[in-house]
Amino acid sequence: MARTPRRRPARSGVPGAARRPSTTRPAGRGSARPRTRSGPTTREAQQRRAVMTTRRWVVLGSLMLLLGVMLVPTGKSWYDQRQRLGELNEQVAAQEANVEDLERQRDLWGTDEYVEAQARKRLKFVKPGERTYTVIDPEADSPEVDPETGAVTAPATQPWYEQVASSVAAADDPTSAQ
């Protein structure tokens, strides 16, 4: 169903005056007069564009905020996992070094010479016919006074109450170095 354009009188000062045909006609419309813009004025269009731009920025900001809320915990867990992975790699490296040391010790304990040397050193073993001597320092029984700090070191062979008594005696001695 084709619409026929409605004719309006020309807007001249004289009512009923005939209109002049326009030399520029819109193609395919069949209308004698050019179309006028029935949309909003320029100021309204600017306001509408400003509102649309503001809405776009609000939507974009909301999407960015949502994206941030979703990605921040994921990023934090990734960072924590990387830290933990670094710590575990260091722990593995330390354990590998410990394993190498233990393997070296195992190889040493497999030799008779090392076992014999350790038995002589740690357990004070001797071969038949050998004699062992242990030298005991006679000065080790008296309390020692550290000349720098004035601290008294009692021998570990004394009971605790004798160590306290010797400490008090050394503290009361005016001739001791302080």
Residue 97 lies in a domain: yes
**Does 137 fall in a domain?**
no
* Domain, as residue range, for 79: 43-112
Residue 86: pLDDT band by 50, 70, 90 thresholds? very high
Q: Is the pLDDT of residue 98 over 90?
A: yes
User: Is the residue at 122 inside a domain?
Assistant: no
Task: Tokens for 168, please give them.
Answer: 């008090």
Within-domain flag for 136: no
Question: How many structural domains does the chain have?
Answer: 1
Q: Are the CB atoms for 19 and 32 separated by under 8 Å?
A: yes
Please report which confidence band the pLDDT of residue 59 belongs to, taking 50, 70 and 90 as the band edges. Answer: very high
Q: Flag whether 130 is in a domain.
A: no
Count of positions (residues) in the chain:
178
DSSP for 24-89, please give it: ---TTT--SSPPPP-S--HHHHHHHHHHHHHHHHHHHHHHHHHHHHHHHHHHHHHHHHHHHHHHHH
Predicted structure pTM score: 0.38
State the chain's mean pLDDT as an integer: 79
Write the pLDDT tens digit of every residue in 110-146.
999 999 999 988 888 889 999 888 777 766 556 666 6
Q: Tell me, what's the pLDDT at 30?
A: 54
Residue 178 confidence (pLDDT) above 60: no
In a domain, 33, yes or no: no
Q: Is residue 48 part of a domain?
A: yes
Whether the CA torsion 166, 167, 170, 171 is positive or negative: it is negative
Task: Return the higher-pLDDT residue of 65 and 4.
Answer: 65
Q: Does the pLDDT value for residue 105 go beyond 70? A: yes
Chain position carrying tokens 């306001």: 47
Per-residue pLDDT tens for 5-54? 666 655 555 555 555 555 555 555 555 555 555 656 788 888 888 888 99
Q: Is residue 62 part of a domain?
A: yes
pLDDT for the residue 106:
94
